[in-house]
Amino acid sequence: MQKCVLASGNIGKLTELSAALADFNLQLISQSEFNFVEAEETAVTFVENALIKARHASAETGLPALADDSGLVVHALNGDPGIRSARYAQKSANIKPTDADNIEKLLNNLANTEDRSAHFVCVLAMVKHTNDPEPLIATGRWHGNILNDIQGEGGFGYDPVFYCPVTGASAAAMGKEKKAAISHRARAVEQLRELLA
């Protein structure tokens, strides 16, 4: 079995991706198993940031690495919050904003805006080694609209205000299984599976 470091300490992500790639003889190991500082995401695109994280994890461990970078792109806001989705409402360097803070800023910035179209993006980048000249890049997008108010109890991040026309519900209200089947991450994983095959 080929060991591969997942450039994330998120256990949910590790479980989800391990299950999705189980038939490719890959053993994903969380980067938290190794003692190194996370990569600084200094790029302006999801692809570049995913590659920065993958190459960094590979350099630190000597193993192939898989990383993802994802976020919400709102068309009326010129793509914001984009790569800064998790820290959209950040006011100081050492205090991370909550999901509620980020949602509040998003809704305030969209007040009186007619175009509420948006999409989630997930980019998965896999490298065989640090200087791999041909990394595998898989991208998934999930299109919808930003609601005026929070709907639903589940999910995380912007899920309570992201409305999916296909299901007729917010990402927070549709349930884990439905979300896992149609989300941006599900689509990126599907594309990665095709590339690995």
Tokens of 138: 């898989």
**Burial per residue of 22-60, b for 16 or more beta-carbon CB atoms within 10 angstroms, e otherwise:** eeeebebbbbeeeeeeebebeeeebbbbbbbbbbbbbbb
Distance CA(191)–CA(153), nearest Å, equals: 29
* Active-site annotation holder among 69, 99, 115, 159: 69
Q: Which of 53, 47, 42 is nearest to 6 (CA)?
A: 53
User: Has 69 been annotated as catalytic?
Assistant: yes
Neighbours of 100 (CB within 10 A): 11
**Catalytic residue list:** 69
